[in-house]
Structure 1
Amino acid sequence: MLGSDGNSDTAPSSTRGVDFPVHVLAVHAMGLHLLDYLCFEELAPVCARERRWAFLCVVAPLRLPGATGSPVNPIAVL
């Protein structure tokens, strides 16, 4: 899994002929799941207060046959 608080790709693309090179490499070539636009505003202060920076990330996408993406609600378990 690769996640960030923004889009993992640059816009416009820096790779000629490939609109979303990180998505192409991660999803198609490596089989990684991508999570874009993660919201860490609530998680960061909790990690700081607990002095813990490692956690279990649980993600349950919707089951959408034939879809290429899904909204998710990732949960950090400290």
Structure 2
Amino acid sequence: MNLICESQDVSDYLAVTAEVDHDHPMIAELTSKLAASSQDQADFVKQSHECYQRLTIGDTPDKSKPSFMLNDGF
């Protein structure tokens, strides 16, 4: 598969949109809590990923959120 970027500017891919609202107050609050409880950047990434996994894995399909709705990031 040959992927072609539409833009060479990474900020174009990090912009807030209706689908990707990483500036939402609840997301900002959770990010702050995870950062405060992290020992370093690697620990922050690990905790963020584990939080993401808990959100995407539910007891039943109706309790899970589709992974395309939650961007795991890095």
Superposition TM-score, scaled by structure 1 size? 0.29
Q: Which structure has greater helix proportion?
A: 2
Q: TM-score, normalised by structure 2?
A: 0.30
